[in-house]
């Protein structure tokens, strides 16, 4: 019922989001991934929908139900997420990148299960190559969506977040302290934009998401 009475701040807008972890193969039975639960991204998808937006959610593996009225597409690797996002980006008004995307993928993925007793007898050696930066790429699109990034940091939040916002060329970056949010139900967000630093009050993830959607709606240029 509360959802029904949310102001329709994003009516007529198409919001594209990424959420959850990506997962990169090591061999046929092993992956490299991270501890993103997807809760923040899913809460934002729900809040955007409540605010009247059409919502497309590109998601890594999570245990969460897709919010009602949200169109979702499941992906595994960063490259799959990249391709799915690029296919929808031109049509989106707002892109919110919440996914914890693996920065690197294994270059020498083994076609067979790695054995404990390898040929040399030692630990396996993994080579890495960089994954595409989905957010930075969308931010560079001509006539692309208005972009929001997330930065989960374990230290020096303001310093890293400001640098990240500039590097990715995005109008709004949302920072939080990673060890406080991974898998937690509450969150403390700090907004970084052209005007400076704006800490939001600590809140449950859904309330924080509704507040953030209101902050986004207030900043995104009119159609």
Give the catalytic positions in this structure: 34
Q: Does residue 103 bind ligand CTP (CB under 6 A)? A: yes
45 three-state secondary structure = helix
Rounded distance, CA 179 to CA 193, Å?
23
Strand partners, 31: 25
Q: Which one of ligand CTP, Ca ion, none is in contact with 150 (Cβ closer than 5 to 8 A by kind)?
A: ligand CTP
Q: Which of 101, 139, 181, 189 binds ligand CTP (CB under 6 A)?
A: 101
How many residues bind Ca ion (CB under 5 A)? The answer is 1
Residue 104 is inside which H or E element, if any? strand 104-106
193: annotated binding-site residue? Answer: no
Q: How far is the CB of 99 from ligand CTP (least distance, A)?
A: 5
Burial class (CB in 10 A: 0-12, 13-18, 19+), 39: buried
| Cβ neighbours for 74, distance < 8 A, ≥ 6 positions apart | 59, 60, 61
Rounded distance, CA 181 to CA 34, Å?
13
Tokens 């989960």 identify what position? 152
| Cβ neighbours for 160, distance < 8 A, ≥ 6 positions apart | 151, 153, 175
Contact code string over 55-94 relative to ligand CTP, x by CB under 6 A: -----------------------x----------------
Stretch that binds Ca ion, among 64-72, 103-111, 166-174, 195-203 (CB under 5 A): 103-111
Q: Does residue 95 bind ligand CTP (CB under 6 A)? A: no
Q: How far is the CB of 2 from ligand CTP (least distance, A)?
A: 27
Q: Does residue 91 bind Ca ion (CB under 5 A)? A: no
End-to-end CA gap in the chain: 29
Q: How far is the CB of 115 from ligand CTP (least distance, A)?
A: 31
Q: Which residue is nearest to Ca ion (CB)?
A: 103
Q: How far is the CB of 23 from ligand CTP (least distance, A)?
A: 13
**Pairing of β 24-27 and β 30-32:** antiparallel
Write out the binding residues for CTP. 103, 113, 132-135, 150, 164, 168
What residue numbers does the annotated binding site cover?
A: 103, 113, 132-135, 150, 164, 168
Please give the residue ranges that form the binding site for ligand CTP (CB under 6 A).
18, 78, 97-99, 101, 103, 131, 133-135, 149-151, 164
């Amino acid at each position: 019922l509360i959802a029904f009475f949310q102001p329709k701040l994003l009516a007529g807008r198409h919001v594209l989001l990424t959420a959850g972890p990506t997962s990169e193969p090591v061999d046929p039975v092993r992956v490299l991934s991270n501890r993103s639960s997807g809760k923040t991204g899913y809460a934002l998808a729900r809040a955007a929908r409540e605010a009247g937006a059409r919502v497309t959610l590109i998601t890594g593996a999570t245990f969460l139900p897709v919010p009602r009225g949200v169109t979702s597409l499941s992906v595994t690797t960063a490259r799959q997420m990249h391709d799915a996002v690029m296919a929808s980006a031109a049509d989106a008004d707002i892109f919110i990148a919440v996914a914890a995307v693996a920065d690197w993928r294994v270059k020498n993925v083994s076609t067979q299960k790695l054995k404990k007793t390898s040929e040399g007898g030692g630990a396996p050696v993994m080579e890495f190559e960089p994954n595409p930066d989905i957010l930075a790429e969308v931010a560079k699109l001509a006539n692309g969506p208005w972009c929001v990034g997330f930065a989960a940091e374990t230290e020096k939040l303001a310093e890293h977040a400001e640098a990240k916002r500039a590097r990715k060329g995005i109008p709004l970056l949302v920072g939080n302290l990673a060890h406080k949010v991974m898998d937690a139900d509450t969150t403390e967000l700090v907004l970084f934009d052209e005007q400076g630093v704006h800490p939001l009050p600590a809140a449950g993830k859904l309330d924080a998401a509704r507040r953030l959607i209101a902050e986004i709606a207030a900043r995104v240029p009119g159609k």
